[in-house]
Structure 1
Amino acid sequence: MLLSYLIVSLISGILFGVMDALINANPLAQRLYQAYQPIAKQTQNPMRSMLIDLVYGFAMAGIF
């Protein structure tokens, strides 16, 4: 039971990371982000973003 929870959590967290990258890297998103560029953070930490996506994966697997 615990092993299946860990596997599902890791896979869903990785999928969240991939989806996040695909959604934010497409040309339409880049044009929309130009409106927020004056107030947006200029640098991003990909490791922190992936960690957050993994946490969401564990939370989602735990809730459902």
Structure 2
Amino acid sequence: MELNNDFEVAAPLDEVWAVLTDVERIAPCLPGAQLQEVEGDEFRGVVKVKVGPITAQYKGAA
């Protein structure tokens, strides 16, 4: 399966990229995502994903 979607943002590329790569700002936009800990430039969190009857939870650091 391949999903595609395009949209335009009326802002300079560097400003848009800064928001998209700001984990603390973007995590609340992702359903099921929880940012649990921020230490300097390291982030720990959990993402819970549900596809039909199957639910999976992932923990990780970035």
* Larger RCO, structure (CA 8 Å, separation 6 or more): 1
Structure 2-normalised TM-score?
0.27
Structure 1-normalised TM-score?
0.27
Q: Could you say which structure has the higher strand fraction?
A: 2
